[in-house]
């Protein structure tokens, strides 16, 4: 009899426990609200966005390209048409709209290479950077000034005037050399007649006069 | 007797479990700011929507101008009726309250910096936090003789045809000379697509 009574009390306790668990499970309903809150915290995103560390200058990129630095990928976030018209050497095209696609993720979400975003200026590249940064992708950079700045500094560098400091002239020569690497030709640098004919020295004609032999003497 | 012991153990275990859950709930701190939009929807919205305001249309009574530059620059010169909210202080309570009040009043906040790129980052942070009453001013600020000059500017416009420029330069230099354009060796990057992770959890 005693056993039966204790069993009854225990069964009641189970019911209460089960009820509490069910109520706690109801908390799961709150979860979908936080599902939209993917990625890093807003405060962290803002802190990252303020830092100018993400910007990389055109000169640096030119230097890396010329030295065939294998550690980075250039990502053109413009439309396909502008990409086909002109883009940086070896760049891959991921239009801004497709930046979060699964195929793009393979390029962007990896630790092997630095990813350098660029567009016409750095507006769309920054947008791509912000979204990928929120998803906590690593090693993301933005080309400061984009293609427009690339044209102004590397492809068509402004010629310094003579009163400018030496650094400006050195920078110009470096940029000019870089632009030649990327296909620009300068009239003063093109050798129009690379093989100059070597002047052959006129042959000296040496006429050897025969000496008249003296008549050999008789006796 | 054995049966009773077992039952007791189970009830002790489940009470402990419930206690842990309750402690977890009590210590859980709700994050101050949470994103209301995920990245996919944000991307869709920013690539399709129009968020620029021209300088000429600023007189609209519905617009509230917000200067995201530093207080120092703001004091040097700013647009008329602008309120200074420096980017690093964007998520302060007072500023967020201000944005909330703008949203409740149905007003549109127009952000501007030295150029549209500068205002882009605070714009995107706020936008993802769910403030959809935001615009960007399509203008640049310069100083000329200690005066702030605002000039309209185009965003993401191609300023030069680089390919044509290179072709032209080759043509100009010498039509006859053959120029060997050294193109960098094509780098082949093989990135293996990451395997999709299985959905975690679930019982």
Rounded Cα gap, residues B109 and B60, in angstroms: 12
Pairing of strands A140-143, A55-56: parallel
Q: Is residue A90 part of a domain?
A: yes
Q: Indicate the domain borders of chain B.
A: 39-152
pLDDT in tens, A101-141: 888 888 898 888 999 999 998 899 999 999 999 998 988 99
Q: Is residue A185 part of a domain?
A: no
Rounded Cα gap, residues A136 and A153, in angstroms: 32
Rounded Cα gap, residues A165 and A143, in angstroms: 27
Residue A48 has pLDDT above 60, yes or no: yes
> In chain B, which among 133-192 make CB contacts under 8 A with chain A?
155-163, 165-166, 169-170, 172-174, 176-177, 179, 181-187, 189, 191-192
Contacts of A156 in chain B (CB under 8 A): 160, 165
Q: Is residue A203 part of a domain?
A: no
Burial class (CB in 10 A: 0-12, 13-18, 19+), A178: buried
Cα-Cα-Cα-Cα torsion B15, B19, B20, B21, nearest 10 degrees, comes to: 100
Decide which of A166 and A24 is more confident.
A166
At A205 the pLDDT is 77
- Nearest residue on chain B to A188, alpha-carbon basis: B173
Question: 3-class SS at A189?
Answer: helix
At B167 the pLDDT is 87
A44 touches chain B (CB under 8 A): no
Range scoring the smallest mean pLDDT among A85-99, A179-193, B14-28, B42-56:
A179-193
Which two three-digit tokens encode residue A112? 């092997």
Residue B175 has pLDDT above 60, yes or no: no
Residue A195 has pLDDT above 60, yes or no: no
Pairing of strands A72-76, A92-93: parallel
Rounded Cα gap, residues B115 and B120, in angstroms: 9
Range scoring the smallest mean pLDDT among A115-124, A199-208, B6-15, B163-172:
A199-208
Rounded Cα gap, residues B55 and B139, in angstroms: 7
Burial class (CB in 10 A: 0-12, 13-18, 19+), A19: exposed
- What's the pLDDT band for A1 if we cut at 50, 70, 90? low
User: DSSP for chain B?
Assistant: -HHHHHHHHHHHHHHHHHHHHHHHHHHPPPPS---SS-HHHHHHHHHHS--EE-GGGGG-TTEEEEE-S-HHHHHH---TT-EE--GGGTTSHHHHHHHHHHHHHT-EEEEE-SSHHHHHHHHHHHHHTT---EEEE-EEEEEETTEEEEEE--SS-----HHHHHHHHHHHH-SSS-----PPPPP----PPPPPPPPP---
Q: Is residue A109 part of a domain?
A: yes
CATH number at residue A87: 3.40.250.10
Distance from CA of B45 to the nearest CA of A (A): 10
Q: Which of A4, A45, A79, A88 to mutate to test the interface with B (most CBs of B within 10 A)?
A: A45
At A199 the pLDDT is 66
Q: A151 near A121, Cβ under 8 Å?
A: no
E strands of chain A, at which residues? 55-56, 72-76, 92-93, 114-118, 140-143
Pick the CATH number of B39-152 from 3.40.309.10, 3.40.50.300, 3.40.250.10, 3.30.428.10: 3.40.250.10
User: DSSP for A131-151?
Assistant: HHHHTT-SSEEEETTHHHHHI
Which two three-digit tokens encode residue B98? 């201000």
Q: B37 near A134, Cβ under 8 Å?
A: no
pLDDT in tens, B86-131: 999 999 899 999 999 999 999 999 999 998 989 999 999 999 998 9
- What's the pLDDT band for A31 if we cut at 50, 70, 90? low
DSSP A26: G
Domain range enclosing A118: 52-153
Pairing of strands A114-118, A140-143: parallel
């Amino acid at each position: 009899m005693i056993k039966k009574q204790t069993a009854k009390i225990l069964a009641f306790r189970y019911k209460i426990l089960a009820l509490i668990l069910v109520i706690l499970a109801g908390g799961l309903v709150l979860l979908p609200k936080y599902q939209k809150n993917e990625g890093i915290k807003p405060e962290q995103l803002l802190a990252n966005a303020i830092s100018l560390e993400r910007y990389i200058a055109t000169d640096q990129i030119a230097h890396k390209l010329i030295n065939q630095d294998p550690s980075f990928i250039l990502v053109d976030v413009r439309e396909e048409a502008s990409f086909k018209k002109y883009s940086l050497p070896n760049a891959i095209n991921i239009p801004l709209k497709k930046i979060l696609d699964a195929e793009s993720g393979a390029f962007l979400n990896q630790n092997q290479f630095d990813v350098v975003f660029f567009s016409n200026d750095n507006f769309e590249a920054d947008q791509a950077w912000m979204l990928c940064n929120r998803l906590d992708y690593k090693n993301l950079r933005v080309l400061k000034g984009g293609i427009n700045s690339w044209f102004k500094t590397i492809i068509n560098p402004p010629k310094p005037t003579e009163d400018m400091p030496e650094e400006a002239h050195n920078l110009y020569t470096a940029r000019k050399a870089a632009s030649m690497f990327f296909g620009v030709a300068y009239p003063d640098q093109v050798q129009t007649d690379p093989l100059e004919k070597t002047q052959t020295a006129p042959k000296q004609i040496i006429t050897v006069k025969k000496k008249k032999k003296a008549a050999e003497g008789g006796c | 007797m054995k049966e009773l012991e077992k039952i007791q153990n189970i009830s002790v275990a489940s009470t402990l479990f419930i206690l842990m859950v309750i402690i977890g709930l009590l210590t859980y701190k709700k994050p101050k700011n949470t994103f209301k939009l995920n990245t996919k929807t944000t991307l869709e919205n920013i690539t399709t929507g129009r968020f620029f305001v021209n300088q000429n249309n600023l007189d609209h009574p519905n617009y509230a101008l917000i200067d995201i530059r530093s207080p120092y620059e703001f004091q040097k010169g700013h647009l008329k009726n602008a309120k200074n909210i420096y980017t690093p202080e964007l998520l302060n309570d007072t500023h967020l309250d201000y944005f909330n009040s703008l949203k409740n009043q149905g007003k549109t906040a127009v952000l501007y910096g030295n150029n549209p790129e500068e205002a882009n980052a605070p714009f995107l942070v706020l936008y993802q936090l769910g403030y959809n009453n935001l615009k960007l001013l399509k203008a640049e600020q310069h100083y000329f003789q200690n005066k702030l000059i605002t000039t309209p500017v185009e965003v993401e416009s191609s300023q030069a045809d680089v390919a044509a420029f290179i072709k032209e330069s080759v043509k100009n230099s010498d039509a006859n000379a053959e120029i060997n354009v050294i193109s960098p060796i094509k780098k082949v990057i093989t990135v293996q697509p990451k395997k999709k992770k299985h959905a975690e959890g679930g019982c």
